[in-house]
Amino acid sequence: MRRPSIRTAQLISPFGPGALCEVDGQSFFIRGTGSWRKQGNLEDIQLPALTDRMRPGMELKRPIHGVSVSRFPRWHFCTSCREMVYWSHERDKTDKPGDPLPMPTCSKTACREQRLVPMRFVALCDGGHMEEIDWYFWAHRRQQKAQHGQCARNVAKLSFVVTGESGGDFSSMEIRCNCGSRATLEGISDGPLPQKCEGRQPGEQPQGCVNPTDPQRRPYPLVMEPRGSSALHYASVISALDIAADSSETGSVATLKADSVFASLVDVAVSLPAGLESTLTDPVAKIAERLAIDTGLAIKVFTAEVMRKRAPVESGGDLPTEVSQGEILDEEFPILASSTPIDGRWLKTRPGPPGARYGLDRLFEKVVQVERLREVRAFRSFKRRKPGDEAASITPSLNRPSPIWLPATQVLGEGIFVEFSKPALQKWLSTNQVEITAFTEQQLRAAEQAGLPMRMGFEANPVFVMVHTFAHLLVNQLSFDCGYSSTSLRERIYCGPLNNLYAGVLVYTADSDSEGSMGGLVELGSPGRFAEVTYRAVSRSEWCSGDPVCRELEAQGLDGLNRAACHACSLVAETSCTCSNVLLDRVLVSGRGKENGRGVREPLGFFQSILAA
């Protein structure tokens, strides 16, 4: 069997350190960065927007040739004779690195070297650990020695049998031993497993496990999860566009930041309580007039500079150890929304009006053709079972001492940026306030309780839900029109709080391969073509093949965080969405403002005016 092969970008998500990766029907665990080969294998990636916010000395590195993996789970079974085999580490040893790995096969003559299949279930705890389920103990846990005699682990032969009864659920799956002991898997998912967590990660020595909330300092309980479950690995990924001074600040932005009066106003705003910086926008407008710079751009840069400088002040003067995705987005928005073209090494933009066709100029402020961009993504930690604050975060080194660096990758590509009209957003919110609140309150509250806004860096408000849904519709439509596959496109959502409202969407190429920049995506951002793309994207949201069920459900999707959004209408590939395909509702995009089949009045969609046109 060949060595497992995945793309470098997949080592950030979804196959970062601590994740399971399936290749050729075999399952492998991506080991911590402390086990990765370093000599000639790691390439430095520089991006001040990320590294300046990290601990001093923290670096970003991209693996070039490969990373260390461990086969997991090691318990396999034969689909022919159903016998279970523990495929030990010694069986995977090869004469030299790079040689093909041995393929796990059944040793019985009658099975004719039938390929073994990894067991379907693994054990997890909220402390971030993962280990094998003790199948020997499970088969013998309720058996009497007087009935079946003594059975030692080193001589026991286990089998995984599926009887086909009970509709194929856990009660029809059975672990059998050659001593006669047997036990079905009924109840395996109902509660803690009857084994103690030792703080293991596959291929690593146990570290010990302690639940800090337990007065007796006992370990977290282990629970069963299917091998393919998304709960095995919730990655925390941070990303930033390269908008450094040598690329995008060569024009108006650089002139503004170099002005001494502007810098003094920023310092004054930083010393004020959060939210009061808006009282200084009039002086900023006068500075913009003096420097012949667009007033809107000046105010956006001013707000971003205040947020950037305020974070270290609020943390006691030290650089924050946890990079905030929200802060990075706040800094990027005014650069992308600038009315002045940018022609830098890593960022090149051509802003233009949205055009009057379909009344697009009443909904959008501008459309920016991004001819060149560079994005860097870094993997900073992961959690198991629960993505919220209560679950333990595990570092890329699997909480072991290692060099202070994070796995990272970079993408070069192109895109389209759309800035929404602030007056249009405010009008939409005010005229539909009751209906919009009713349609979004439950999902937004659930997202806050799960800690998603803080972890993913977005504002949980109705505007975000609408803009996020529109971004998915746009990704799907652009994939039809520009020649890129939908998995090659990625969204980037910009949305401010309701008291400082702004919104924008960047759809860009997300692959680092040959599809990085073909030009087709940028051309669709021209005024004439983008109007047609937007109309088709929005009109498709009026009807779904799952309607009326999809449209009228009050909650669906992951943890019920969506309303009118399913795979047939609004969901995209996981690699294309920055928010795990949650907080989506196409009714906010194209709702009719009438009662639906369940007697619930829909809000009028933000884009309903272009559908009427």
Beta bridge partners, 505, equal 418, 493
Q: 320 or 106: which carries more pLDDT confidence?
A: 106
Computed over every residue of the chain, the mean pLDDT equals 85
Is residue 94 classed exposed, middle or buried when 0-12, 13-18 and 19+ CB atoms within 10 A define those classes? Answer: exposed
Q: 266 or 515: which carries more pLDDT confidence?
A: 266
CA-closest candidate to residue 565, choices 539, 540, 544: 544
User: What is the Cα–Cα distance from 571 to 585, expressed in whole angstroms?
Assistant: 10
Above 80 in pLDDT, residue 131? yes
Residue with tokens 């049998």: 161
Full 3-state SS string of 325-376: HHHHHHHHHHHHCCCCCEECCCCEEEEECCCCHHHHHHCEEEEEEEEEEEEE
Q: Please report the pLDDT score of residue 322 as a whole number.
A: 59
User: What is the Cα–Cα distance from 73 to 118, expressed in whole angstroms?
Assistant: 6
Share of the chain above pLDDT 90, in %: 41
Share of the chain above pLDDT 70, in %: 90
Q: Which residues of 493-514 are buried (b: 16+ CB within 10 A; e: fewer)?
A: bbbbeeeebbbbbbbbbbbbee
User: What is the Cα–Cα distance from 430 to 455, expressed in whole angstroms?
Assistant: 29
Q: Is 34 helix (H, G, I), strand (E, B) or coil?
A: helix
Among 51-55, 306-310, 583-587, 598-602, the range with the most confident prediction by mean pLDDT is 583-587
CA angle 245, 299, 577 (to 5 degrees): 70
- At 516-525, the pLDDT tens digits run 455 678 989 9
Q: Please report the pLDDT score of residue 313 as a whole number.
A: 36
User: What is the Cα–Cα distance from 499 to 101, expressed in whole angstroms?
Assistant: 58
Q: Please report the pLDDT score of residue 517 as a whole number.
A: 56
User: What is the Cα–Cα distance from 450 to 433, expressed in whole angstroms?
Assistant: 25
Largest CA distance in the chain: 95
User: What is the Cα–Cα distance from 15 to 30, expressed in whole angstroms?
Assistant: 7
As separate numbers, helices (DSSP H) first and strands (DSSP E) second, the chain gives 17, 21
User: What is the Cα–Cα distance from 65 to 41, expressed in whole angstroms?
Assistant: 6
Q: What's the predicted TM-score (pTM) here?
A: 0.80
Beta strands (DSSP E) in 79-211 are 84-86, 116-118, 121-124, 130-131, 158-162, 173-177, 182-184
Above 60 in pLDDT, residue 421? yes
Both structure tokens of 510: 């997300």
Above 70 in pLDDT, residue 148? no
- At 267-303, the pLDDT tens digits run 888 888 777 777 888 888 889 888 888 887 788 788 8
Q: Are 565 and 577 in contact (CB under 8 A)?
A: no
User: What is the Cα–Cα distance from 545 to 572, expressed in whole angstroms?
Assistant: 16
Q: Please report the pLDDT score of residue 440 as a whole number.
A: 93
* Pairing, β 364-383 against β 234-241: antiparallel
Cβ atoms < 10 Å from Cβ of 3 = 14
Among 121-135, 323-337, 596-610, the range with the most confident prediction by mean pLDDT is 121-135
